Amino acid sequence: MKKVLVAGAALLIVGSMVSAASAEVSLSGDARVRYVGTSDYVRNISVNPNGTLNEDKNGYADNWNSRIRVKFHAKANGGAFMKARLRLDDVKWGTEGSENEGWSMWKNGKNVWADYAFIGVPMGPVTFTGGVQEASYSKFFEYDQRPGRAKLEYKTDNLRLIGLIDMIDENATSVQDQFDDNDLMAYGFVAAFQINDDWSIKGYARYRDDQMDWDSEDSVRYVSADSNDPGNATAGFIAVTDTTRTPHVDTSGFLGSIHAQGKVAMVGLEGELAYKEADVQGTQDDGWGWYVNASMDMGAFIPSVMIGGTYDGYQADDDFGFIMIGAAEPITVIREVGTEAGDSFFAALMANYAVSDQFKLAANLVYYDIDINEDSEEGIPDVRGAVDAWEISGSATYVISEGADLSYKLGYLDPSYDGRVNSAGISDDGYFGQYLRMQIKF
């Protein structure tokens, strides 16, 4: 562990020295500390196939957490570059050990790790990048992913064409698949076109190529180190790893999205249509979803309206949404917009107001309806019903100084259950969450 800390500190020191000596190497990043509190729920509850939104939970739970991220960008004289980001100590305080074990948050050996790291080589209008890369097409389809990817990108003033190959799973624990090279791969193409100063459109098509035959799962059991006395706990134990192989369920298929964004006079418009084949989702039917958002720029005040839906098991990326529904917030109740067991519809009124250059407010009023369909997934027979929920949420952000701000977010989710979906008698009490965050960017 000391070696990890020393190596991490040395890397940061060397990086800062090189940055000072050369304009071709730079450091940047962000850091935060958060207080999070939730009432009558635990963060990130999925609407499971039988339709129950949550179990009964009473009481208030809170925690503190923090994270530091440092970006490295190095550029060779010929234009080739390297980009990487280190995450330091991304933890919930007090969860890595007890106070009697000293620096408990540093115990797990993963207090510093690479969030992404890749190289890039420009060749005229084409750039090759390879490594573990940050991938963000849209929050509704796919966002903030970290694939091992080889990518070629062609770029002009108003056009981007991207071809990519992702290695999803080598399945190295399965001997048969390893030697037969039965991997899980993905091949994709992205095209983005800037139509004019106001409008842009982009599309993403990907084929998921699943050639794996087996799934392998490791389990650890402990046996006595003393073969003459296997029941003697004082003799010590040896960890034995057992590997279980089961036939792999094919997940090959197409998925894709079309996204458009622009404005007409003072009205900003954004919309998307996304699709995933059934085997990719693990459902009986192909899934799809859509949304449209309209906003009006009135200077300090920007109101907006959003409507959308998901069908036949489509689920948006967990970064899409609001505060209590989606958006990957620390107080989010429903993890993804959409459910693998059916359809959903959502509508939202949102508003942003800049009180001043330093102080900004935001508010959301969201209606979310989930319909659980009987035939949406195999192995879940005779389940029908609906879950309706209203979200009221808001935030306030104050800029303390350049690069430092304080934010407060809170939300209330009021669910109601209909039909057989609540046969277990789940409480429909509301959920309240809040968090306070101090953040810096450098």
Tokens of residue 215, six digits: 């799934």
pLDDT in tens, 381-437: 344 567 788 999 999 999 999 999 999 999 999 988 765 444 444 556 788 999 999
Cα 306 to Cα 329, 367, 390: the distances in Å are 19, 10, 14
| pLDDT bracket for residue 16 (50, 70, 90) | very low
**What pLDDT shows up at residue 138?**
97
Residues linked to residue 128 through DSSP beta bridges, in sequence order: 121, 152
For the segment 322-349, the average pLDDT, to the nearest whole number, is 91
The separation between CA 127 and the C-alpha centre of its own chain, rounded to angstroms, equals: 26
CA atoms within 13 A on the CB side of 340: 19
Structure-block tokens of residue 139: 């929050």
The pLDDT tens digits for 125-153 are 999 999 999 999 999 999 999 999 999 99
Q: Are 216 and 191 in contact (CB under 8 A)?
A: no
pLDDT at 94: 81
The model's confidence at residue 187, banded by pLDDT at 50, 70 and 90, is very high
Burial label for 211, CB within 10 Å (0-12, 13-18, 19+), is middle
Query: What whole-number distance in Å separates Cα of residue 223 and Cα of residue 240?
Result: 7
Output DSSP code: residue 136: -
Comparing 90-99, 170-179, 180-189, 397-406, the range with the smallest average pLDDT is: 170-179
* Residue 337 clears pLDDT 90, i.e. is over it: yes
CA 370 to the chain's CA centroid:
21
Amino acid at 149: R
pTM equals: 0.82
CB 304 within 8 A of CB 271: no
Judged on CB neighbours under 10 Å (0-12, 13-18, 19+), 233 is: exposed
List of residues 6+ apart from 143 with CB closer than 8 A: 136, 137, 317, 319, 320
What mean pLDDT value characterizes the chain? 82
Read out DSSP for 176-216?
A: HHHHHT--EEEEEEEEEEE-SSS-EEEEEEEEEEE---EEE
pLDDT at 200 over 90: yes
Mean pLDDT score, 66-75: 95
% residues pLDDT > 90 (the chain): 58
Using the CB atoms, write b or e for 403-416: b if 16+ within 10 Å: eebebebbbbbebe
pLDDT above 70: percentage of residues in the chain: 76
